[in-house]
């Protein structure tokens, strides 16, 4: 007999695979247009929240492209923290602008390393996601770094997931450790839950 947790893990895995395949099938033109949309929506979100600092991530090739936005944010004086994954499942942070390939091929910043608690001081956290649902539940990629980080914060700033339009779903599967988000940013809109 399958346990419900095993069942849920299988459902999540299938959904992640489907989303990854859809993302890989996108043309370079679609990606470029989406990147422009994300940059514009994220600029709106910064203004809306009057954020002067944020935590974001360096996107993988199949993910929504965060780099044009990060370049803009730095150019207007916003302090940007980028994650560096640790062996214990937590995230260190850096304001470094260089880039290297971290474990599992994930892009990471190069620069002075700040402790996991550094993220407590930002005005906004932007996280990757495979999908989010209308209740604010986030389906991550299964490594748990952001769930651990968000779950350990005493006072959380607004947290928004960056996803493609089709990845805002009615429902996504939820496990106990899954941390909710406050909203989602797509190329065409900002959704607040």
| pLDDT digit string, tens, across residues 5-17 | 578 888 899 999 9
For the chain, the domain total comes to 1
What domain range is 103 assigned to?
A: 4-192
| pLDDT digit string, tens, across residues 100-144 | 998 778 899 999 999 999 999 999 999 999 999 999 999 988 888
Q: Which CATH number does the domain housing residue 124 bear?
A: 3.40.50.10420
Phi, psi of 47 (to 5 degrees): -65, -45
Q: How far apart are CA 137 and CA 131, in angstroms?
A: 8
Residue 133 DSSP SS3: strand
Q: How far is residue 159 CA from its own chain's centroid?
A: 9
What is the pTM assigned to this prediction? 0.92
Q: How far is residue 56 CA from its own chain's centroid?
A: 7
Number of alpha carbons in the 13 Å side-chain half-sphere of residue 78: 28
| pLDDT digit string, tens, across residues 60-70 | 999 999 999 99
What percent of the chain stands above pLDDT 70?
97
Q: How far apart are CA 75 and CA 27, in angstroms?
A: 29
């Amino acid at each position: 007999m399958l346990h419900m947790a095993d069942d849920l893990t299988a459902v999540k895995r299938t959904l992640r695979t489907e989303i990854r395949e859809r993302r890989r099938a996108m043309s370079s033109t679609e990606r470029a247009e989406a990147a422009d949309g994300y940059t514009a929506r994220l600029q709106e979100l910064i203004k809306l929240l009057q954020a002067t600092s944020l935590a974001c991530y360096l996107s993988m090739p199949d993910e929504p492209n965060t780099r044009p936005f990060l370049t803009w944010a730095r150019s207007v004086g916003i302090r940007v923290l980028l994650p560096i994954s640790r062996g214990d499942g937590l995230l260190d942070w850096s304001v470094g602008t260089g880039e290297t390939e971290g474990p599992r091929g994930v892009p990471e910043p190069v620069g002075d390393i700040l402790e996991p608690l550094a993220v407590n001081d930002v005005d906004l956290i932007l996280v990757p996601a495979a999908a989010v649902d209308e209740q604010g539940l986030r389906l991550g990629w299964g490594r748990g770094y952001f769930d651990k980080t968000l779950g350990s914060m005493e006072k959380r700033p607004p947290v928004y997931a960056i996803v493609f339009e089709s990845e805002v779903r009615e429902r996504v599967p939820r496990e106990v450790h899954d941390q909710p988000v406050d909203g989602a940013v797509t190329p065409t809109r900002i959704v607040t839950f």
